[in-house]
Amino acid sequence: MRPNLRRLLVLCFLLLAVAAASPTSPNSPPESPPFKCPTYIDTVVPGGQDESQGYGQREPGDPFLPTMREVHNALSNCSTITSLKLRVAHLGCSRSPDSYTFPLEFPRGSHYPSKLETLDLDGYDFNEKPWDEGARLDPSSWFESEYDRYRHWFASGKARNWLKWLPLPKAQKNMTNLDLWLEAVDFSGIKTLRLRQMSDRGPEIAEWAKDFILALPQNSLKHLSWIKSGQTGASVEPILRHHAASLRSLEWREPEADFRQRRVMTADQLAALASMAPDLRKLTIDMNQNGTWPYEHLEVLATKFPKLTNATIFMEMTSECRRQMESARWDSWGQSRQAPTREARRTFRETMQKQEAECKSYSQPELNADHTKHLFEFLVAKNNGGNLTSVSFYAGYWERGWDGPLRFMGPWIEDHRAWGSCWLAEDSEPATEAKIEVGESRQMT
């Protein structure tokens, strides 16, 4: 039987068994809010603005917004919002968002009256298609019959939407949540745009970030931060060149991983960046040690960027030996579990522990207080009275900590980091502050 015909028959049966649908659609425009309209939204779904947990913030009297529908309602009814900062994530073992998208009207579209200047989205699923979502049944399970799945499909309101949208042309059925966003939001006032994707939902941002950056008018960006771009030093050069003449600050880096070395610019590529971005005041970039400090890169940084006042450099924390061990760690754990006897498993674990004890886990030279001061003094000397006045050095894991479901074990790098901050005091003498944080790999047994 054709799928659509089968669904229609099931839907007719359910309509006979259940009272008529409510005249108010789940996607109907919300009522006027019984709260003071905020000037900004900074929230985490499903945590809300829980500052005690580090989730967002709000002003006294502003609404608490722990769900996507409540954020959507505020955006639909308030014209005072200039900044939207939203993270959508699975928190802990049991806290899931009500949705990874806003319930935008489909297919007619919604309207957000506020003129946003800052848009910061983390984990939002732009790729979701309302038509596909309306047609989707809950995943099958051993304790639910197919009838139960159809009953849930009806009770959730999806069946109603599916029937209403069935006559739509194919082009409208293929509309994504991003298409609905473009109709709902006035993007003409956006000055700051940040997009970050932490989930596996939809295509990776890195896949289309390059096209997005190149599609903007040439030399129209003053500040660009591109983290985890997937580009090499060679492939990123023509992309950065598109906006290089107008850039005042640039951040191009890749979070350190403990399974492979980061891709960084060569000294020549860094010099090429300096020549095409003469007005750069602030630069954040990766450098690798490889047994010695990257003096050639540091000299380029100090001598080729005439207007640079502030630099942030991410060095390495993880050695090649540690990377090899981390790459094999999961395989080793599986082999240990499959060993035929308890004695064999114990012997295998002892062998792995011995190899770990012999491995020098930290990239050499290590970033510490003395080395931080040495590197800054080298830069100041090479800068020879130039504009460079402050440099920060980082190594290890500096991304947001894991707050998702409990894991058996996390990456080694997550518990290891170091930083140092250096600046020229008023008397032009170098001053430094440094901190090293080293922990043990978190493991749950």
pTM: 0.83
Q: Where residue 388 falls among pLDDT bands split at 50, 70, 90?
A: very high
Answer yes or no: is pLDDT of 394 > 80.
yes
Mean pLDDT of the chain: 85
Answer yes or no: is pLDDT of 9 > 60.
no
Answer yes or no: is pLDDT of 442 > 90.
no
> What are the angstrom distances between the C-alpha of 191 and each of 34, 181, 221?
30, 17, 10
Answer yes or no: is pLDDT of 64 > 80.
yes
Residues 352-379: pLDDT tens digits?
777 778 888 999 999 998 999 999 999 9
Which of 436 and 101 is assigned the larger pLDDT? 101
Q: Are 203 and 126 in contact (CB under 8 A)?
A: no
Q: Are 117 and 82 in contact (CB under 8 A)?
A: yes
Q: Are 137 and 213 in contact (CB under 8 A)?
A: no
Answer yes or no: is pLDDT of 23 > 50.
no
Estimate the share of the chain in helix, then strand, then coil, as percent rounded to the nearest 5: 35, 15, 45
Cα 209 → chain centroid: 13
Q: Where residue 433 falls among pLDDT bands split at 50, 70, 90?
A: low
pLDDT given at position 157: 87
pLDDT given at position 7: 58
Residues 215-230: pLDDT tens digits?
999 999 999 999 999 9
The order of strands in the sheet holding 83-88 is: 40-45, 83-88, 118-122, 192-196
Residues 121-176: pLDDT tens digits?
999 999 899 999 888 887 765 567 888 888 888 888 888 999 999 999 999 999 99
228: left (phi over 0), alpha (psi -120 to 50) or beta: left
Task: Quote the percentage of the chain above a pLDDT of 90.
Answer: 60
The 3-class secondary structure across 230-297, one letter per residue, is CCCHHHHHHHHHCCHHHCCEEEEECCCCCCCCCCCCCHHHHHHHHHHCCCCCEEEEECCCCCCCCHHH
Q: How large is the average pLDDT for residues 292-315?
A: 98
What torsion, rounded to 10 degrees, do the Cα atoms 121, 125, 131, 136 define? Answer: -140
Q: How large is the average pLDDT for residues 308-337?
A: 82
pLDDT given at position 324: 86
Enter the CATH code of domain 204-319+360-438.
3.80.10
Q: Are 286 and 233 in contact (CB under 8 A)?
A: no
Which of 157 and 309 is assigned the larger pLDDT? 309
pLDDT given at position 443: 29
